[in-house]
């Protein structure tokens, strides 16, 4: 017994010594005020170098072997010097490829990287408030629900609506479609009879979500488009009737409020009427177009969006935030709870606490970044006014670009619903294949040049260029530059 006691004591002393050694060695993980300041100042200086020099950089930096230099400094047991590491980051990560916050980033759907959002991310990460469960982060959860409610009001959703902030539109879509599946009581054996209505312009994340949700066998019906790439409601109604008659199970109607290719908005009101009559779930993909609801033009164009069963909006697109925020809103939050609320015994303390709906109960995530702060802080500091003005500016920039590029001799697509313009260089009488090759060469040449970054798509067999004005720093100067560079490229 005495021996055991002595052994325990020496064992304890050794343990205490070992703990002290490890604490010393791990101390680097807890920098004091001095090292924190050094780190922060170096990061701040890097950010200022980036922002200060942004307009002088190419919008697309086309270089051989982009980023491979990263491997020059290996991850090892000891760290590298701060200046050396930040230099590597700037050279190998910041420089190559596209710069979404660049004024002349007019490709795909640009991102904005609103600085207020970046600062909010910093604060969210430092406090690391847990926003999954109300018990743990009551303020963080209330903030998320408040931001969700703000977006629900923007859509015109009722008080029973619910939702959350996911990493982006794709995950938000997955959440919406699983809610739609469970709300309609669809089980594995039903999938082959379940019918989904979409168009050729529906974003691919929808099909991906169906497959990830295990519903890859569902029948997809591609509804014809009108001459402005919008779903034809009469064709939708006819297809629904055909499927009903055949004994299938019409389930999900997918409308897009701002397609990625052309920015077209499907006729939401007419589609909502048909979906309601057919008792189908109506999902509206407003990942790109949603926050144009802050403008009068957007509210008019998006009329009917509030009749949807679920909507996806991407604050990292039309609220100009850094990547990492996609919102899902569901008209009846019970549908989200039905799909997502689970409880483990390790959460029993949390469950005793009444309060608000916890994000973990309406999404597939449990631990997650505190995303609400990056939306709330900018809105609190700036109000919605500057966002509305910036979005209205992008709408007008698209109209302006379309006039200018048409005047420069380019063939232009339809008057834009939102802030994307399609166009191509197609001189009178040039055969389609030749025109397609020419436009392919044009977009490649522009990317090599780098002053402006545009992307392309295929529309009805035509290789088509797109100008998407959505980066928050895109103003008339960048659009004028695009017109000039395009003119030079075709020898005008």
Ligand X SMILES: *Cc1c(COP(=O)(O)O)cnc(C)c1O
Binding site for ligand X (CB under 6 A): 109, 168-170, 203, 205, 256, 258-260, 285, 287-288, 314, 326
The gap between the terminal CA atoms of the chain, to the nearest Å, is: 98
**How far is residue 432's CA from residue 213's CA, in Å, rounded to a whole number?**
40
Q: How far apart are CA 391 and CA 396, in angstroms?
A: 9
Smallest separation, CB 261 to ligand X (Å):
9
- Tell me the HSE value of 17 on the side-chain side, using a 13 A CA sphere: 6
Query: Which residue number, 66 or 324, has a Cβ lying nearer to ligand X?
Result: 324
Nearest approach in angstroms of CB 90 to ligand X is 25
Asked if 283 and 271 touch (Cβ cutoff 8 Å), the reply is no
Distances from the Cα of 417 to the Cα of 130, 151, 224, 256, angstroms: 39, 21, 18, 12
Smallest distance, ligand X to C-beta of residue 28, A: 36
For 260, residues 6+ apart whose C-beta sits below 8 A from its C-beta are 108, 109, 201, 203, 288
Instruction: Report which of 176, 304, 198, 197 is spatially closest to residue 244, judged by C-alpha positions.
Output: 197
CB of 287 to ligand X, least distance (A): 4
Q: Which of 253, 275, 241, 249 is nearest to 194 (CA)?
A: 249
Q: Which residue is nearest to ligand X (CB)?
A: 169
CA distance 108 to 288: 11
Q: What is the largest CA-CA distance in the chain?
A: 103
Nearer to ligand X, 161 or 205 (CB): 205
Minimum distance of ligand X from residue 42's CB (angstroms)? 31
114: closest CA among 426, 381, 472? 472
Helix axis angle for 204-212 and 169-183, nearest 10°, is 50
Residue 420: its H or E element: strand 420-424
In the complex, least distance from residue 190 CB atom to ligand X, rounded to whole angstroms? 26
Q: Quick one: 288 or 401, whose CB is closer to ligand X?
A: 288
Q: How far is the CB of 371 from ligand X (least distance, A)?
A: 13
Residue in the structure block whose two tokens are 């509030």: 306
Q: Name the percent of the chain in helix, strand, coil, to the closest 5.
A: 50, 15, 35
**Smallest distance, ligand X to C-beta of residue 457, A:** 12
CB 470, CB 463: distance < 8 Å: no
Given the complex with ligand X, which of 256 and 363 has the nearer CB atom?
A: 256
Which residue number, 58 or 326, has a Cβ lying nearer to ligand X? 326
Strands 281-286 and 326-330: unpaired
Q: Which is nearer to ligand X, 259 or 436 (CB)?
A: 259
Which phi and psi (to 5°) does residue 137 adopt?
Answer: -130, 70
From the CB of 232, what's the least distance to ligand X, in Å? 19
Q: Given the complex with ligand X, which of 109 and 124 has the nearer CB atom?
A: 109
Beta carbon nearer to ligand X, 152 or 418: 418
If the CB atoms of residues 58 and 416 are measured against ligand X, the closer one turns out to be 416
- Pick the closer one to ligand X by CB: 314 or 417: 314
Q: How far is the CB of 76 from ligand X (least distance, A)?
A: 35
């Amino acid at each position: 017994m005495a021996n055991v006691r002595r052994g325990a004591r020496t064992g304890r002393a050794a343990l205490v010594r070992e703990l002290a050694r490890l604490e010393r060695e791990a101390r680097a993980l807890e920098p004091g005020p001095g090292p924190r300041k050094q780190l922060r100042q170096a990061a701040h200086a890097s950010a200022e170098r980036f922002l200060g020099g942004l307009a002088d950089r190419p919008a697309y930096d086309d270089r051989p072997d982009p980023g491979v230099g990263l491997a020059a400094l290996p991850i090892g047991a000891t760290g590298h010097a701060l200046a050396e590491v930040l230099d590597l980051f700037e050279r190998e990560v910041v420089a190559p490829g596209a710069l979404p916050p660049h004024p002349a980033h007019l490709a795909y759907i640009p991102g904005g990287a609103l600085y207020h959002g970046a600062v909010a991310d910093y604060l969210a990460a430092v406090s690391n408030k847990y926003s999954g469960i109300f018990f743990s982060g009551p303020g963080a959860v209330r903030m998320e629900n408040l931001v969700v409610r703000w977006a629900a009001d923007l859509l015109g959703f009722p008080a029973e609506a619910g939702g959350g902030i996911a990493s982006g539109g794709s995950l938000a879509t997955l959440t919406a479609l699983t809610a739609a599946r469970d709300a309609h009581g669809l089980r594995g054996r039903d999938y082959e009879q379940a019918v989904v209505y979409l168009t050729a312009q529906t974003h691919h994340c929808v099909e991906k979500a169906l497959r990830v949700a295990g519903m890859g066998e569902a029948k997809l019906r591609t509804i014809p488009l009108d001459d402005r790439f919008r779903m034809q409601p009469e064709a939708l109604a006819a297809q629904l009737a055909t499927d009903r008659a055949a004994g299938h199970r019409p389930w999900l109607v997918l409308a897009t409020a701002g397609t990625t290719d052309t920015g077209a908005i499907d006729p939401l009101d007419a589609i909502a009427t048909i979906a309601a009559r057919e008792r189908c779930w109506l999902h509206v993909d407003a990942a790109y177009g949603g926050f144009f609801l802050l403008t009068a033009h957007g509210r008019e164009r998006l009329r009917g969006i509030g009749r949807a069963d679920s909507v996806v909006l991407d604050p990292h697109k039309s609220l100009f935030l850094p990547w990492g925020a996609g919102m899902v809103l569901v008209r009846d939050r019970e549908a989200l709870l039905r799909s997502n609320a689970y409880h483990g015994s390790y959460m029993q303390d949390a469950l005793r606490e009444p309060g608000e709906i916890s994000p973990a109960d309406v999404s597939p995530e449990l631990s997650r970044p505190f995303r609400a702060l990056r939306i709330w802080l900018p809105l609190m500091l700036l109000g919605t006014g500057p966002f509305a003005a910036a979005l209205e500016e992008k709408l007008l920039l698209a109209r302006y670009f379309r006039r200018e590029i048409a005047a420069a001799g380019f063939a232009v697509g339809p008057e834009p619903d939102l802030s994307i313009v399609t166009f191509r260089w197609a001189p009178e009488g040039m055969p389609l294949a030749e025109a397609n090759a020419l436009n392919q060469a044009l977009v490649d040449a522009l990317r090599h040049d780098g002053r402006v970054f545009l992307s392309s798509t295929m529309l009805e067999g035509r290789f088509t260029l797109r100008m998407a004005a959505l980066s928050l720093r895109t103003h008339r100067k960048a659009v004028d530059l695009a017109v000039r560079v395009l003119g030079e490229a075709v020898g005008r």
